[in-house]
Amino acid sequence: MTVTVRVVAPGASGHGVVRHAAAVAAAVAAEGLVPVGSGQADLSHAQFTDALWGADVAAAADAFVEQARVLPRPLVVTLHDLPGADPDPARDARRCAGYRRVVAAADAVVVSAGDEADKARALGAVDPVTVALPLPVVVPAEQAPGWAGLRTLGVLGFVYPGKGHEAVIDAAAAHPDRPAVVAAGAVSDGHDDLARSLAGHARSRGVEWILTGQLEPAALAAAAAAVTVPVAPGRTVSASGSLLAWLAHGRYPLAAVGAYAREVAVAAPGSVALYDDEDRRDALVADALTRPTATRGPVPDWPDAGAGHAALYRGLLAR
């Protein structure tokens, strides 16, 4: 029997969660399922992060619950950017309340990492299913960027608070050669002040700061190849497409210790070099600048997101 899946991910095509929805759709299509963007289907799969669905978490939850009433059932929801550890208790409480409503409106909840499953249970999910993020699809690289001849430390993805760019600038400043720092991505909406702050911090530390802006896939591939030392500095991310983008491009990043970085290190042994303090970070940077081939290698084996989702869909339909 052909299984059709209604794919629901409102927002701009460049948004990370929308890209994730497209990647999952492609992966399940390879398993023989048929993703559709509208109309009737055997089930629906929605992607939820509050920033994608509304101006605030309450509005986002309202929009999701309203949409859930008319979507083909069963309804699967993948939760992104889960609350539960926000340093602002009031904001965390608001987000938790919104996410609880989303969980209650769905028939099955998917998360992308083990620590996210614990957060989902706290939000009311009875049996959250963990399916690893798919590795991003890589396209051939375009011409090397103008900064390719520099020695650089690079961070992939959007620039936003907590991503770790400032720590990477500090790591560059701690090295005698002061390599440049490349932020290979755009500034997230509403965070232009952060970009200016990072540029000022780099100047104060004597480090060249290179902000590329939004990169199309071929330009991203060129940037990923050109960076001397790839870094994944975010400690609090619960599932990181940016970290996986390094792996998909055959780069083995230095990664700040966090729950997700540890999961990746277990799933793909040898693909990340973990650090938990500045001394270890700076030592890894120095070694990688001396031995740049140490951060390059074949794309590691990775769990099959298409098979994982297809098994979930078929299990729901068999109930």
The percentage of residues in the chain with a pLDDT greater than 90, rounded to a whole number, is 88
In degrees, rounded to 5, the angle at the alpha carbon of residue 129 between the alpha carbons of residues 125 and 134 is 135
Give residue-wise pLDDT tens across range 123-148.
999 999 999 999 988 999 999 999 99
| Residue (of 218, 210, 208, 226) closest to 145 by Cα position | 226
Handedness of CA 107, 94, 58, 159 (dihedral sign): negative
Give residue-wise pLDDT tens across range 270-297.
999 999 999 999 999 999 999 989 999 9
Confidence band, pLDDT 50/70/90 cuts, at residue 188: confident
Asked if CATH classification 1.10.3720.10 holds for the domain at 4-134+303-317, the reply, yes or no, is no
Distance (Å, whole) CA 128 – CA 124: 9
Phi then psi for residue 10, to 5 deg, are: -70, 140
> What is the pTM assigned to this prediction?
0.89
Confidence band, pLDDT 50/70/90 cuts, at residue 1: confident
Give residue-wise pLDDT tens across range 220-248.
999 999 999 999 999 888 788 899 999 99
Burial class (CB in 10 A: 0-12, 13-18, 19+), 89: exposed
| Residue (of 280, 269, 158) closest to 211 by Cα position | 158
Sequence-ordered list of residues with C-beta below 8 angstroms from that of 99, at least 6 positions apart, any chain: 48, 50, 57, 61, 79, 82, 83, 123
CATH architecture of 152-295: 3-Layer(aba) Sandwich (3.40)
Helix (H) or strand (E) holding 76: strand 75-79
Give residue-wise pLDDT tens across range 74-90.
999 999 999 987 778 99
| 210, 152 contact by CB (below 8 A) | yes
Domain ranges for the chain:
4-134+303-317, 152-295
Torsion of CA 71, 77, 79, 80, to 10 degrees: -60
DSSP state of 165: H
Tokens 């990688």, located at residue: 288
Q: Which pLDDT value is given to residue 189?
A: 82
- Mean pLDDT score, 171-187: 97
Look at residue 98 and tell me whether its pLDDT is greater than 80: yes
Q: Which pLDDT value is given to residue 21?
A: 96
- Locate 81 and state its tokens: 């950017």
Domains 4-134+303-317 and 152-295 alike in fold:
yes
Confidence band, pLDDT 50/70/90 cuts, at residue 13: confident
Q: Which pLDDT value is given to residue 236?
A: 81
Give residue-wise pLDDT tens across range 243-267.
999 999 999 999 999 999 999 999 9
Q: Which pLDDT value is given to residue 115?
A: 87
Confidence band, pLDDT 50/70/90 cuts, at residue 68: very high
DSSP state of 161: T
Distance (Å, whole) CA 249 – CA 296: 9
In degrees, rounded to 5, the angle at the alpha carbon of residue 155 between the alpha carbons of residues 99 and 283 is 115
Q: Which pLDDT value is given to residue 220?
A: 96
Q: Considering the chain, what is the average pLDDT of its residues?
A: 95
- Mean pLDDT score, 58-75: 98
Confidence band, pLDDT 50/70/90 cuts, at residue 186: very high
Return the SS3 of 82.
coil
